[in-house]
């Protein structure tokens, strides 16, 4: 089971807290850079409305066995699902928390205890799901948790719409980056996630993540450090999958671990958009996998045809994936 140096991590978190707090003052945490004062509890586009800057809202902290195999290992990934999001994708499978706001406000000390409880339960890592808009209280929680001996690798599980300024401050704190790359075409990013600037922001973020951690490394088959890039294949190539693969090749990221996801299901408001109002066909998905193989990507993670049914959480339950 991979471990980290708790004292070193705590020192890095301590050094990052001040600069991250300043990013929150006129918020530049994500690609929207909406400029609200998060320290005065001004909710930006992400609708984050916790009682003060030291609180978070999350819906679940649980051992998750549906993540990529290098993250799951034997003990499961210790996932914390944060409420709200800076994208609001029309097809989000986690819409109950990302857009409806399901979850409870809590102080950072309680979040720290949740992380330690996941470690005690056997989690292979602490997996922060959609953490960017709560990064300041998350760092406060990590400072406390590392001070109490937390020693699991930290996974930054993000939609990819992260500012490079923020990511640079997380250098050495995050062990494993797990970003999405959702779109290659700004028009699709605008239509489905209200973020025309998404492709450029996400590409810059991926390059910064790779600079920090490099390719995935494992201890006894369990991820210890590195980058895993997720890409959800959408109907009619609305995600720009082929262009994305070509960009990765041009960027020199052929050795990166690439998780090509088959799990798209037309959830939330996807039915309002004709081109994505149906599941992905086997042919659509397999053509992308074969193209990645043809280009020479060797570290591919793929999903089976039952994925749309397997990976649909219900956050009204204690265990969303039960």
pLDDT above 70 covers what percent of the chain? 99
Task: Kindly report which listed range (43-47, 94-98, 260-264) carries the lowest average pLDDT score.
Answer: 43-47
- Phi, psi (deg, nearest 5) at residue 48: -65, 120
Which residues, in sequence order, are CB contacts of 22 under 8 Å at separation 6+? none
Q: Is the pLDDT of residue 188 over 60?
A: yes
pLDDT of residue 49: 67
Q: Nearest to residue 74, comparing CAs of 223, 257, 174?
A: 223
Which pair of structure tokens corresponds to residue 39?
Answer: 């320290």
Average pLDDT over residues 165-193: 98
pLDDT tens per residue across span 163-177: 999 999 999 999 999
CA atoms of 141 and 217, how far apart (whole Å): 26
pLDDT above 90 covers what percent of the chain? 88
Tell me if the pTM is above 0.75: yes
Which pair of structure tokens corresponds to residue 180?
Answer: 């999405």
Q: Is the pLDDT of residue 50 over 60?
A: no
Which band of pLDDT confidence, cut at 50, 70 and 90, is reported for residue 43?
confident
Is residue 169 classed exposed, middle or buried when 0-12, 13-18 and 19+ CB atoms within 10 A define those classes?
A: buried
- Phi, psi (deg, nearest 5) at residue 38: -70, -20
Antiparallel, parallel or unpaired: β 176-179 and 217-219: unpaired
Q: Which 3 state secondary structure label does DSSP give 113?
A: helix
Q: How many CB atoms lie within 10 A of CB 5?
A: 11
Which pair of structure tokens corresponds to residue 27?
Answer: 């918020």
Q: Is the pLDDT of residue 311 over 80?
A: no
| Domain annotation for the chain: domains and CATH numbers | 6-310 (3.20.20.70)
Percent helix, strand and coil across the chain, each to the nearest 5: 40, 20, 40
Q: Is the pLDDT of residue 51 over 90?
A: no
Q: Nearest to residue 21, comparing CAs of 55, 57, 53?
A: 53
Count H helices, E strands: the chain? 11, 10
């Amino acid at each position: 089971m991979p471990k980290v140096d708790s004292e070193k991590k705590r020192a890095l978190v301590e050094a990052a807290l001040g600069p991250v707090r300043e990013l929150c003052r006129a918020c530049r945490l994500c690609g929207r850079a909406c400029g609200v004062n998060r320290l005065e509890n001004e909710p930006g586009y992400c609708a984050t409305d916790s009682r003060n800057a030291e609180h978070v809202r999350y819906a679940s902290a649980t051992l998750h066995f549906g993540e990529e195999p290098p993250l799951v290992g034997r003990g499961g990934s210790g996932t914390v699902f944060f409420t709200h999001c800076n994208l609001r994708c029309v097809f989000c499978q986690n819409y109950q928390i990302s857009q409806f706001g399901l979850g409870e406000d809590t102080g950072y000390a309680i979040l720290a205890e949740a992380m330690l409880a996941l470690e005690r339960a056997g989690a292979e890592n602490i997996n922060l799901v959609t953490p960017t808009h709560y990064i300041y209280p998350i760092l406060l929680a990590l400072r406390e948790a590392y001070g109490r001996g937390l020693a699991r690798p930290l996974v930054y599980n993000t939609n990819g719409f992260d500012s490079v300024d923020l990511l640079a401050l997380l250098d050495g704190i995050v062990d494993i980056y797990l970003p999405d790359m959702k779109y290659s075409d700004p028009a699709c990013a605008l239509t489905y996630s209200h973020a025309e600037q998404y492709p450029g922001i996400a590409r810059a973020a991926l390059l910064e993540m790779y600079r920090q951690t490099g390719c995935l490394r494992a201890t006894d088959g369990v991820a210890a450090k590195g980058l895993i890039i997720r890409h959800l294949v959408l109907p009619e190539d609305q995600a720009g999958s082929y262009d994305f693969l070509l960009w990765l090749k041009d960027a020199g990221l052929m050795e990166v671990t690439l998780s090509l996801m088959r799990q798209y299901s037309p959830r939330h408001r996807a039915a309002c958009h004709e081109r994505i109002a149906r599941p992905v066909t086997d042919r659509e998905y397999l053509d992308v996998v074969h193209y990645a193989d043809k280009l020479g990507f060797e570290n591919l993670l793929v999903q089976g045809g039952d994925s749309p049914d397997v990976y649909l959480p219900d956050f009204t339950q204690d265990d969303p994936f039960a």
